[in-house]
C-alpha cells in the first residue's frame, strides 16, 4: 500500500556525476534516477555519459568513472530526451538540488531541440534539516550513517544510481516523518 505522501507525486530522485563543480565549464558523466509512482512502485534510470572532454584523474578517483568507461557512452545530446521522457510528469528531487539542477539545466540549454525543465526540484538537504534538526552534518554521506540508509557496497559511493537510491530512501523517511508531524505541503522547492 502506498504511503499518503506518495499521492502528491510521482517523484523522480536523481543524482549526477560531473567532471567538476561548474555547470558552465564542466560536464555530466553519469545520471542515476529512481522514480516512485503514486502506488509506490519504482523504476530506475542509469547511464554513463560521454562528456566530450577529458575526465581528470581526481574526478576518476572520486567517482570511479574513467575516460575508458565513457568512451563509447552516449553524449547528453544523444540521451537527454530519454531522460526527459523518464522524468515526465514527475517532481524532481535531489540532495543539494541546486548543484544537480544547474548541471541538468545547463546541459539542456546547450542541446538544440531539448526543452528546459520548468518544474524545479525539491532538495533533500533542506528537507532533512527540517525533518531532522540538530544533526552535525547534512551531507549525504553523514545522513546515510546517521539514519542508517542503504548498504555501502565497495565502489558505489559517488556513483549516480547508488546516490539516487540513498537519496530516495532519505526522501521517503523525510516525507513520512513530515507527514507524521502534520506537514502536508513541501515549501522547499528550488
Whether 190 is in a domain gets the answer no
Whether 189 is in a domain gets the answer no
Whether 187 is in a domain gets the answer no
Structural domain boundaries enclosing 101: 4-180
Flag whether pLDDT at 189 surpasses 80. no
- Of the residues 38, 50, 95, 158, only one is catalytic, namely 158
Whether 188 is in a domain gets the answer no
Whether 108 is in a domain gets the answer yes
Flag whether pLDDT at 157 surpasses 90. no
Flag whether pLDDT at 184 surpasses 60. no
**Phi (first) and psi of residue 94, to 5 degrees:** -155, 160
44 Cβ contact list (under 8 Å, min separation 6): 32, 33, 34, 35, 161, 164, 165
The predicted-structure confidence for 38-49, as pLDDT tens digits, reads as follows: 999 999 999 999
Whether 147 is in a domain gets the answer yes
Contact 28, 47 (CB under 8 A): no
Residue 114: give its domain's CATH number. Answer: 3.30.420.10
Q: What is the mean pLDDT of residues 9-22?
A: 97
The Cα–Cα gap between 14 and 34 comes to 6
Flag whether pLDDT at 132 surpasses 90. yes
What are the strands of the beta sheet with 91-94, ordered from one edge?
42-48, 28-36, 11-18, 91-94, 121-123
**Residues paired with residue 34 on neighbouring β-strands, in sequence order:** 13, 44
Q: Give the pLDDT band (50/70/90) at residue 152.
A: low
The verdict on whether 25 is a catalytic residue reads no
Q: Give the pLDDT band (50/70/90) at residue 188.
A: low
**Percentage of the chain lying above the pLDDT 70 cut:** 92
Whether 126 is in a domain gets the answer yes
Range of weakest confidence among 16-20, 71-75, 154-158: 154-158
Whether 61 is in a domain gets the answer yes
Domains in the chain, number? 1
Residue burial 134-144, b: 16+ Cβ < 10 Å; e: rest: eeeebebeebb
Q: What is the DSSP string of 61-125?
A: HHH---HHHHTTSPBHHHHHHHHHHHHTTSEEEETTHHHHHHHHHHHHHTSTTPPPP-S-EEEHH
Is the bond leading into 10 cis (omega within 30 degrees of zero)?
yes
Please name the residue that has the C-alpha cell 545522513.
Answer: 143
Please name the residue that has the C-alpha cell 552534518.
Answer: 137
Q: How high does pLDDT run on average in the chain?
A: 92
Range of weakest confidence among 53-67, 83-97, 140-154: 140-154
Flag whether pLDDT at 178 surpasses 90. no
Amino acid at each position: 500500500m502506498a504511503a499518503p505522501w506518495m499521492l502528491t507525486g510521482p517523484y523522480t530522485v536523481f543524482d549526477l556525476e560531473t567532471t567538476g563543480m561548474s555547470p558552465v565549464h564542466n560536464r555530466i558523466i553519469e545520471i542515476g534516477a529512481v522514480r516512485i509512482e503514486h502506488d509506490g512502485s519504482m523504476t530506475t534510470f542509469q547511464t554513463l555519459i560521454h562528456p566530450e572532454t577529458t575526465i581528470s584523474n581526481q574526478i576518476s578517483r572520486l567517482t570511479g568513472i574513467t575516460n575508458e568507461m565513457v568512451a563509447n557512452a552516449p553524449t547528453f545530446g544523444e540521451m537527454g530526451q530519454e531522460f526527459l521522457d523518464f522524468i515526465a510528469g514527475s517532481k524532481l528531487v535531489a540532495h543539494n538540488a541546486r548543484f544537480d539542477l544547474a548541471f541538468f539545466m545547463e546541459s539542456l540549454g546547450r542541446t538544440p531541440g531539448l526543452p528546459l525543465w520548468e518544474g524545479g526540484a525539491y532538495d533533500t538537504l533542506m528537507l532533512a534539516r527540517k525533518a531532522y534538526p540538530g544533526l552535525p552534518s547534512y551531507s549525504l554521506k553523514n545522513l546515510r550513517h546517521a539514519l542508517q540508509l542503504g548498504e555501502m557496497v565497495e565502489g558505489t559511493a559517488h556513483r549516480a544510481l547508488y546516490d539516487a537510491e540513498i537519496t530516495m530512501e532519505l526522501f521517503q523517511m523525510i516525507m513520512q516523518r513530515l507527514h507524521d508531524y502534520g506537514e502536508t505541503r513541501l515549501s522547499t522547492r528550488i
